[in-house]
């Protein structure tokens, strides 16, 4: 992977200095955080805009991942499916505001469910696009490669578990590699639909969409073939950057905590 930072030094420091930027970067990466202004809004092609969610541009053309993922799949997946999650999340925010203004919470259960589903879909897809590249494939090196070797035994063992996780999602859902900051661990999780089987506090750094809309036009019911081809477009530079950013945040938090203890004494 590249040793280049995700962001220029000054921009990276600016992002690190804002809690909002920090959390946003961890979840949706440089597409959003690189353009974040002082007010937290994102200018340009990020995943938020003016306090609402927005469809981020892909970092490549719709046909860039061929032959592994067809142009038509990418076009529909991004412009129709992802857009629907963005629209649904924003509609739920509007509904919440309306409920507050009218003090009428009769339909709040449905609205909360709508927001959870659509917001999660937006975040999942935003990471998914950035996790792929026409120059992808191979395996990670650096800190993430070492962590995978240590925690899974080898990259091959990690890949076998991730593949099995993806192939065995019941119905529509995702396989994800999470960074879990409490124990400083990596784990592979299944996500049902967009938001089922929650792993609160853990942050996805690699997401694989196994909804039928992600592969059926090309692979029909052969989800396993799609997953095997997907490994050829995984952008490990992006995944490594996410892991290193999060572990650096954890390390920095520890230093601050130590300092706070000294101050208290
Ligand atoms: Fe999807």
User: pLDDT tens digits for 81-91?
Assistant: 999 999 999 99
Angle, CA of 246, 236 and 81, to the nearest 5°: 90
- Ligand 1 centroid vs 82 CA: distance in angstroms? 7
Domains of the chain as residue ranges with CATH: 131-265 (3.55.40.20)
- Ligand 1 centroid vs 215 CA: distance in angstroms? 9
Per cent of the chain over pLDDT 70 is: 80
Q: pTM of this prediction?
A: 0.84
- Ligand 1 centroid vs 151 CA: distance in angstroms? 29
Residues 21-51: tens digit of each pLDDT: 566 767 776 544 333 334 444 343 578 888 8
Residues 130-140: tens digit of each pLDDT: 999 999 999 99
For residue 262, pLDDT over 70 is answered with: no
- Ligand 1 centroid vs 201 CA: distance in angstroms? 22
- Ligand 1 centroid vs 213 CA: distance in angstroms? 6
Tell me what pLDDT residue 253 has.
Answer: 63
Three-class DSSP category at 87: helix
Give the C-alpha separation, 77 to 83, whole Å. 9
CA–CA distance from 150 to each of 183, 186, 243, 260 (Å)? 14, 10, 15, 32
- Ligand 1 centroid vs 162 CA: distance in angstroms? 18
Tell me what pLDDT residue 51 has.
Answer: 84
Q: How confident is the model at residue 12 (pLDDT cuts 50, 70, 90)?
A: very low
The pair of structure tokens assigned to 179 is 């960074």
- Ligand 1 centroid vs 211 CA: distance in angstroms? 6
Q: What are phi and psi of 167, to 5 degrees?
A: -65, -25
Q: Which residue has the higher pLDDT, 195 or 35?
A: 195
Task: Decide: 49 and 41 in contact? Cβ < 8 Å.
Answer: yes
């Amino acid at each position: 992977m590249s040793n280049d930072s995700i962001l220029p030094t000054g921009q990276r420091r600016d992002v690190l200095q804002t809690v909002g930027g920090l959390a946003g970067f961890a979840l949706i990466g440089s597409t959003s955080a690189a353009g974040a202004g002082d007010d937290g809004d994102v200018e340009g092609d990020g995943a938020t805009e003016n306090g609402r969610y927005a469809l981020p541009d892909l970092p490549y053309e719709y046909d860039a991942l061929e032959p592994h993922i067809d142009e038509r799949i990418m076009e529909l997946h991004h412009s129709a499916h992802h857009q629907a999650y963005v629209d649904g999340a924003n509609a739920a925010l509007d509904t919440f505001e309306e409920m507050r203004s009218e003090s009428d919470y009769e339909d709040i259960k449905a609205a909360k469910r709508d927001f959870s589903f659509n917001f999660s879909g937006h975040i999942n897809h935003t990471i998914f696009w950035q996790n792929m590249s026409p120059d992808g494939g191979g395996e990670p090196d650096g800190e993430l490669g070492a962590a995978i070797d240590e925690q899974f035994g080898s990259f091959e063992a990690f890949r076998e578990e991730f593949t099995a996780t993806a192939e065995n999602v019941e119905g529509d859902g995702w396989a994800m590699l999470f960074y879990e900051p409490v124990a400083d661990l990596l784990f592979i999780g299944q996500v049902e639909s967009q938001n089922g089987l929650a792993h609160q506090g853990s942050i996805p750094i690699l997401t694989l969409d196994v909804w039928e809309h992600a592969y059926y036009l090309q692979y029909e019911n052969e989800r396993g073939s799609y997953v095997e081809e997907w490994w050829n477009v995984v952008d490990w530079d992006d995944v490594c950057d996410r892991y290193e950013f999060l572990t650096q945040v954890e390390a920095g938090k520890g230093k601050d905590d130590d300092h706070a203890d000294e101050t208290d004494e």
